[in-house]
A and B are shown apart, each in its own frame.
Chain A
Amino acid sequence: MANAFAFVESRGGELRRVGLEAVTAARQLADGTGGGDVHALVIGAPGIATKAEMIAAHGADVVEVVEHPGLALYSPEVVAATAAARIGAGTYRAAFFSASAQGRDLAPRVAAKLGVALGADVTAFETSGDAIVVRHPVNTGKVIATLTITGTPVLVSLRPGAVTATRAPRTARTETIAPAMDPGSARVVPTELLAGNTAKLDLGEAPVIVSGGRGLRAPENFKLVEDLASAFGNAAVGATRAVTDDGWRPHTDQIGQTGRLVSPDLYVACGISGAIQHLAGMRTSKTIVAINKDREAPIFKIADYGVVGDVLEVLPVLTDAVRKAKHSH
């Protein structure tokens, strides 16, 4: 019987899906060792306590809630100090974080405060004797490392989507906790959250990604990529480094070795030749479609379905067909 801890990520007063994935992972670990307790920590501005029910529904036995007006934005020092204090106050075999932008900032701080090891960006985990064994893609996903991590607790940050958030309702106890330091005394001060288009799906979470490259020939032709994404209805729009370097798309849309690493169910590469830099970011997608006019383009070597042709001609027809297919359901 081992207890497990989950840090439940939130933004703007809402839980993020990756936060519930951490709760599910903690539940899986506890159940896998004969059923220990899962403690889940959520931190935010007043009101975040209303999310405790959702956290309990995903398998937490105790929901630890920190509410403070100074914590509407993610305050790295306060959240790290509080998470370290809460983990230190219990006996946990493992503590789960998300390998998201926030979690990849938070988990190493907490590991250093506690003096324990961190398995970062983990795609699978299991307990093995006294150790936690994790899988972690290295070398831009071209190599998969299996790591054996010892010590108590082991911290794990989970790659988004590595675990599917699953309902496992518990009658949870809610504990109200004060932050481990006064938010007003933090040295690193978050001043603003610049919300993107909130209606837009994030690349890390979208089941479908439609991505464009130089083959689109001009920035305004990205409209065709956006149209196809909107026909799918559950798609995000990505781009190659060539395109983001030229300012056609924001840097944050870049998929590749130094950009986002994605593995959606479906990846549609439009006018993308398939430079190694780009393939590193999307080669783990489940199904890959490539549309490119150069039959010799490397993208076709990894595509499940290739269409040789001019994207500017193929995309409008494909968008129309996808829209019809979606409507016929």
Chain B
Amino acid sequence: MKMAVCIKRAADMETRFKIAANGTSVDETGVKFDIADFDGFAVEAALQLKEKDGAGEVTVVSLGPDTVQETLRKALSMGADKAVHLKADAVPADALAIARVLAAELKGGGYDLVLFGRMAIDAANQSVGPMTAELLGVPCVSAASQLTIANGRGTARRELEGAAELLEFPLPAVVTIDEGIARPRLPSLKGIMAAKKKPLEVKPSQVGESRVKITKMELPPERTGGRIIGEGPAAVPELVRLLQTEAKVL
């Protein structure tokens, strides 16, 4: 099975974010970056499908400036076979503009399965995967928490609010991966050495007009917590009183 996984380079979410001087982006000084959380699950899911089949090829694709090559190398060190860097000054805020670039690259690639993470952990749009599928004209299941592929067909489970649903679809298809499928493996030393020799193709990309513009970024108001009202079961009457009279939630 020929698979592509679209991945994004994203900031470590444990960062204490600061807003950059321009007021419309996050200050990246000293911030660590890695494969966005769900995209790591998608790479792992592709590698496991390949291992189960005993054959196949996994290509990782990422859009952005040269720094995304580090993210692609990480995926190669996990076990992906090839990488494609779609070079752009920045990733646009318009998910459809991103999907158009990815669809142009994937179209004609002969992929049986294209995987995405359920959403990029930073931009949190959860839109690029289904949009890319529409542009490619192939079936799509988003936010799959289980995925089985057999005989050219897929079965997936999606988690809903208080329920779940099962869906079936033919390949080729786009599937976006939720947590729960697989924890991403850590690259082995052997994998890291091998990744250096794997092909990483750099291509120019044509990012079209973005109709979504970030006009402001701000930090949410700080929580003013930190009030300890007592110890052990003896604190319960005071807690209940505060919930009734101060927080008014009881």
Contacts and interface: CB of A to CB of B under 8 A. Distances in A.
Interface of A: 11, 73-74, 76-77, 80, 100-102, 104-105, 107-109, 111-113, 115-121, 133, 136-151, 187-198, 200-205, 207-208, 232, 251-252, 254, 257-259, 265-266, 276-277, 280, 283-284, 286-289, 295, 300-310, 313-314, 317-318, 321-322, 325-326
A169 B20 CA distance: 46
A109 B145 CA distance: 20
B123 interface: yes
Given A76-B140, A202-B162, A287 B236 contact: no
B135 interface: yes
B163 A11 contact: yes
B152 to A, nearest CB: 12
5 contacts: A120-B95, A141-B220, A142-B15, A145-B217, A300-B228
A194 B249 contact: no
A106 to B, nearest CB: 8
User: Counting chain B CB atoms within 10 Å of each CB, which of A112, A144, A254 scores highest?
Assistant: A112
Contacts, number: 279
A-B pairs with lowest CB-CB distance, top 6: A112-B134, A309-B232, A146-B216, A108-B127, A117-B211, A317-B233
Interface size class of B (residues with CB under 8 A): 35 or more
Interface string B229-243: 111110111011011
B124 A137 contact: yes
User: Counting chain B CB atoms within 10 Å of each CB, which of A118, A200, A207 scores highest?
Assistant: A118
Interface string B126-151: 11111111110001111101000000
Contacts of B106: none
B161 interface: yes
Interface of B: 11, 13-15, 17, 19, 26, 37-38, 93-96, 99, 121-135, 139-143, 145, 157-170, 179-180, 211-220, 223, 225-233, 235-237, 239-240, 242-244, 247, 249-250
B240 A314 contact: no
Given A142-B17, A146-B216, A208 B167 contact: no
A103 to B, nearest CB: 10
Given A108-B131, A303-B227, A314-B233, A257 B240 contact: no
Contact of A309 (B126, B169, B231): B231
Given A138-B122, A190-B165, A190-B166, 6 more contacts: A80-B134, A105-B143, A105-B158, A117-B211, A286-B247, A326-B250
Given A109-B130, A318-B239, A140 B226 contact: no
Contacts of B133: 109
A219 to B, nearest CB: 18
Nearest to A267: B249
Contacts of B243: 266, 287, 289, 305, 325
